[in-house]
Chain A
């Protein structure tokens, strides 16, 4: 018997492995969060990081549905919004004093969680009866209903202006007045790390595992004693709760919430973030949230067509890299440590070259089009070059790289097909 248990122990992951896989990433993440304020970030830097924190939590909550539960939702901002709105109201109740006056703003995300979870329990009670594409359609319909309905109840949602408040009321905790950006940073860091750990832990609970089982094979789940609808409902509710928590973080950060926050636009954005990051990895949505938040704030300064690039990136990832950026990163990491790393590196450089060539052509095409469409007669002038839509040189600069890049990529794929032979 002791012999057997020894074999078992050797088959289970070792404690060193467990530490490396389950704890080290969180320690590194926590350390980075602690170190960032020492670099004395600017106000814009703080604003950007806070936005990232909100989206990290939101995207992870979303992936609890899509990646782990197989539920594609087009309306998850509803729960983000409900959580956020509840926090905005609470912020004003705190302002009014009374019993609420003793509630520290720092803990508002708890209320956000409650708001998101309760609304998800109610809506999930009928929407999670279905799965797959039907669930997706329902999520869209429900989101539209709530978004349109929000404009009818001004006392709850504040109409066009939304509801605003002041986060500086209420008692201080941890010596944070919640006024300056640097105070908010600690608020964000606290709730982000807490939520990330909680959501990771969730994947390791019985319900978390069942959620993956329901995603892969709902029928079989019925025959091991579980009701897949119940599993989906519970997962949906908890995911709604974390979305609401992110909404609470957002409420404290911006001190305003408008019905737009419930609309299909943020719902779509969180979907894109999670997917681009990589829904099969826990860390994927974190990468997606950081990258896309950064891009949306930086690139929208550079180009008007930022949304087009975003859409293009999304479609390409769906088509060619369904495991997202995390898949590319981890694939690269495994590849360069593998046996034929030199061969792989060569192949990847060729592919990268092809992609870059196509990208150059595409960027010129898009930028020239955007300027033409504005009708200002402006030219696209990167690095001192001059492209106008009427110039034949422009079209050469567009199509030559695209065709060349396409050719290079074709060569690379053909090589790959011949390799096993």
Chain B
């Protein structure tokens, strides 16, 4: 039995009287692509904020590779190898695309808070930056100010910054939200490529994407996980069907 990459135990989060996350226990194995689905307001983003350190749990624990990370500052969690993206594009809009990615690369390559050397002095940083840009098909837009990017490219940049630090555990919060079909296909391809051999936890509304990508799916309803199983089982689970009734239809098995 190896330690799971990510392990949530009896996780609870309340805001005043409102219990948003209620007793969530979940293990994500190393290298697994795990998706979280659930109706609006189920607490998916709150769960991400708890894992990534933005919120401190009311009770319960989060462990990354066996190390307790609940209550640890986000930047320290990031340094331990967990990186996340945001549902709303959260980029450095006054910088160029290249500079955005470079910021994401800096810490993982030991640049620290240094102010005695040029940011261009490290060949490693430059190469890694180009590599990530190329990987995310943003090379031709490298010198565009991030604020001027088209929406789909901003989302791609969001992912680029997230993976730039080379984290082993990646959390993606609705990476394809608001995209057209062809854009979604491109994004899924990017996600698949970027998380090769890594652990992925993804929140997504697009069921096509989920069933295409995920090894396992957890269903979060009213802050509780009601099912956690491979896609084929989730599809047939009556509890899940009930929870989703009138929300979004689960896609039928496609040949």
Contacts and interface: CB of A to CB of B under 8 A. Distances in A.
A223 B162 CA distance: 8
Q: Which of A201, A222, A223 has the most CB of B within 10 A?
A: A223
A11 B143 contact: yes
Nearest to B79: A225
Contacts of B120: 204
B116 A205 contact: yes
B118 A205 contact: yes
B95 A216 contact: yes
B237 to A, nearest CB: 33
Interface stretch (A93-101, A226-234, A322-330, A347-355): A226-234
A206 to B, nearest CB: 4
A210 B118 contact: no
B94 A222 contact: no
A28 interface: no
Give the interface size class of chain B: 35 or more
A220 B113 contact: no
Interface string A213-227: 101110111111111
A230 B118 CA distance: 19
A118 interface: no
A64 to B, nearest CB: 11
Given A223-B78, A224-B103, A226-B75, A231 B113 contact: yes
A223 B84 CA distance: 7
B140 to A, nearest CB: 8
A216 B106 contact: no
Interface string B122-134: 0000000010001
Contact of A7 (B79, B90, B139): B139
B168 interface: no
A224 B114 contact: no
Contacts of A260: none
Nearest to B99: A209
A227 B139 contact: no
Interface in A160-216: 201-202, 204-210, 212-213, 215-216
Nearest to B140: A11
A271 to B, nearest CB: 21
A220 B90 contact: yes
Given A219-B90, A222-B78, A238 B115 contact: yes
Contacts of B116: 205
Interface string B118-157: 1110000000001000100001001100000000000000
Contacts of B95: 209, 212-213, 216
B107 to A, nearest CB: 3
Interface of B: 52-54, 73-75, 78-79, 83-84, 86, 90-95, 98-99, 102-104, 106-108, 111-120, 130, 134, 139, 142-143, 161-162, 164-165
List the 4 closest A-B pairs by CB distance, nearest first.
A225-B107, A207-B115, A222-B74, A225-B78
10 contacts: A11-B142, A205-B114, A206-B119, A212-B92, A212-B95, A213-B92, A216-B92, A216-B95, A224-B103, A225-B107
